[in-house]
Amino acid sequence: MSVDLDISGLLPKARPLLVIISGPSGVGKDAILARMRKLGGHLHVTVTATTRLPRPGERDGVDYHFIPPERFQAMIAAGELLEWAQVYGNWYGVPKDQVKQALARGQDVIIKTDVQGAATIKGILPQAIFIFIAPCSFHELEERLKQRHRESGFDLGLRLATAREELKRLPMFDYVVLNPQGQLEVAIRHIRSIIEAEKSRVNPRLVEL
């Protein structure tokens, strides 16, 4: 009797995961996401909408949806964003529909957001998985920020002070993953392990969007 031999009904039902990847500015979130995007298939890496200009190599619709401020305001007004925030003068927002549709397809969804945005999502979807990407030291973070931002008027001190404050929000997160300079694959491996482990949970997290 085949029903009798089947154990799948006794095991927890697999559910798509919602993973929030956050951390201070300069910690390497974008590089991590670019790499995870290549893993493809079962994983949907949400494309954030932003009013900031593309950095060299960034592609519209792949790395970000680069949109003008008026369009961003319209998305807020229409309730099309899961969360949004102004970060160092630019707006960033997570398109709600994109997340909903990917979850409905059964894909695991990754959302990248700053720490403030993670707190907002925690309020709406506490059952999501919250991962904080941390630098190995403030010195390393400082060097990265210096390399990336060479424009005049860039306030390095403000970024570092903010990073310090953001680290205090760590208790809100489920996991912390170090992203050591030059060892991106270590951070990626940790994140993939977290996703694999969460998929093995006896009591799966139930995310309702």
Sheet of 81-87: strand order equals 65-66, 49-50, 90-95, 81-87
Q: Which is nearer to a copy of itself, 152 or 203 (CB)?
A: 203
Nearest distance from C-beta of residue 63 to a copy of itself, angstroms: 26
Please tell me the distance from the alpha carbon of residue 28 to that of residue 148, in angstroms, as a whole number: 11
Taking each helix axis as running N to C, give the angle between helix 184-199 and helix 29-37, from 0 to 180 degrees, rounded to the nearest 10.
60
Q: Which is nearer to a copy of itself, 53 or 202 (CB)?
A: 202
Q: Which is nearer to a copy of itself, 42 or 139 (CB)?
A: 139
Nearest distance from C-beta of residue 167 to a copy of itself, angstroms: 5
Q: Determine contact, residues 131/194, Cβ cutoff 8 Å.
A: yes
Applying CB under 8 A, the residues found at the interface with a copy of itself are 4-7, 10-12, 131-132, 134-139, 167-168, 170-171, 173-178, 189-190, 192-194, 196-198, 200-203
Nearest distance from C-beta of residue 85 to a copy of itself, angstroms: 22
Q: Which is nearer to a copy of itself, 5 or 78 (CB)?
A: 5
Q: Determine contact, residues 28/147, Cβ cutoff 8 Å.
A: no
Nearest distance from C-beta of residue 177 to a copy of itself, angstroms: 6
**SS3 state of residue 175:** strand
